Structure 1
Amino acid sequence: MTDEPTHAGGPAESLSWETLYGETAYICPGFDVQRERVRLPDGTESDFDYLSDSESVVIVPFTADGDAVVIDEWRQAVKRVNRGFPAGGVEGEDADLAATARRELEEETGYVADEVEHLTTMEPANGVADAVFHYFVATGCEPTGDRELDHNESISVETTAFEDLLAAAEAGELRDGRTAFGVCYYELFG
């Protein structure tokens, strides 16, 4: 028996695309656009463009009292403030993802965690992007650190009951996808 995923037509290998060549079509701060020439399983050749982004950590942080630490951040692409969990890109020198989660939590919120534990990893939009989110639960968070916001971050910090975040997700009011997923996943499996 194979551990490979299968579908009605056989093993997943029969679905694989062959990358013939690739190039960076566009570079900007934060992400790149990659263009690849691919051969599909039926032999057809085609171009495929996708957003290339560094891996990220998303932190689901809780104070010692059990409240969630959240940020309100301006999101220019959607022209509004979104409530969310702190998150940030994995940088070149980041070998330890838990340490990256601790760093991002402190930089964005000023909170420092007693414990940080991996929750899950997901690919949020793998049809159009190579982004990977590593979720971490941070507990015992206290506002004893130093915030160091990036030049393009407009963020305020507060605490809220996790149940309020869950209710907002259920009502469709928690619009930040990373956060909505984190809230629901933590509620189901955390």
Structure 2
Amino acid sequence: MEFYEETIKSTSIYKGNVTEYIVEDVKLPNGEMSQREIVRHDGAAAVLPFTKAGELILVKQYRKAIDQLSIEIPAGLKDKTDGDGLETAKRELEEETGYNAENWKFITSFYSTPGFTDEFLEIYEATGLYLAENPLSLDEDETVEVVVATYDEAWEFYHKGLLRDSKTVFALFYWKMKKLERELGK
């Protein structure tokens, strides 16, 4: 069977600052017609910033989409001025936390929710953190609080339901994997 859906018609129903909402009429592989609701997104980058003491820098903010506080790794949207995801990650780390980093490592990238959006997220690890002399300002619509968490504290946030977004849950399991590898001497 061929796994391809041919777009017959595509209609933009709303274009905002961050996303565009598209409705597409598609022809399914079996010849039937269907409709897809798609959220187009410019992409984003996120950072796992580790202190010299091995703690993780997180940010606490209110997320209206879920109507609750959320504790997350620093992240943000790619700007038109960003050449790549690493530039986005560096900018967002400084804007949201006031930190820069000496060392950067690409970890992974993935589509956040390909069932309805093309948002592509790149994740980096940052070490050798230091406070920026004149850090970049937060976006006008952002209110965040920096949270420095140990491994156990981060997992406690998860179990309390404060840390639930996909990129940060990934970060926790990445951290767990790194910890296990160190313990096993790999």
TM-score with structure 2 setting the length: 0.86
Aligned to 2:137: 148
Which amino acid in 2 is paired with 1:159? V
After TM superposition, give the deviation of residue 171 of structure 1 in Å.
6.0
Q: Give deviations 1:138-158, integer Å, cap 9, x for gaps.
A: 111122251411111110113
1:43 CA drift (Å): 0.9
Deviations 1:37-79 (A, max 9, x none): 2110011122211111121101111112221111111111222
CA offsets 1:71-92 (integer angstroms, 9 cap, x no match)? 1111112222211111001122
2:52 match:
64
Q: Which runs of 4+ in 1 moved over 4 A?
A: 170-173
Work out whether 1:25 is the aligned partner of 2:25: no
Whether 1:180 aligns to 2:169 is: yes
For the 8 Å contact 1:64–1:142, the answer to whether it is kept is no
Shift of 1:168: 3.5
In the alignment, structure 1 segments of 5+ residues that lack a partner are 1-9
CA distance in 1, matches of 2:95, 2:54: 21
Q: Report the Cα distance in structure 2 between the residues aligned to 1:99 and 1:28, rounded to whole angstroms.
A: 23
1:83-98 map, 5 Å: 83-98=71-86
Show the 5 A alignment for 1:7-46. 14-46=2-34
Q: Secondary structure of 1:41's partner?
A: coil
1:99 pairs with 2:113: no
Q: State the distance in 2 between where 1:33 and 1:189 align.
A: 38
**In the TM superposition, what is the alpha-carbon distance from 1:127 to its structure 2 partner?**
0.5
Matched positions, count: 178
Percent of paired sites with the same residue: 28
Unaligned runs of 5+ in 2: 180-186
Q: Cα 1:59–1:153, aligned 2, differ >3 Å: closer, same or farther?
A: same
Q: Is the 8 A contact 1:166 1:184 kept in 2?
A: no
The correspondence for 1:164, drawn from 153, 160, 171, is 153
Q: Distance in 2 between matches of 1:163 and 1:141?
A: 21
Quick one: which of 107, 128, 131 aligns to 1:119? 107
Partners of 1:77 and 1:172 lie apart in 2 by 15
Q: CA RMSD in A?
A: 1.9
TM-score (norm 1): 0.85
Instruction: Determine helix, strand or coil for the equivalent of 2:101.
Output: coil
* Cα deviations by residue, 1:121-179 (Å, 9 ceiling, x for unpaired): 11121101111111100111122251411111110113111332134335654222321
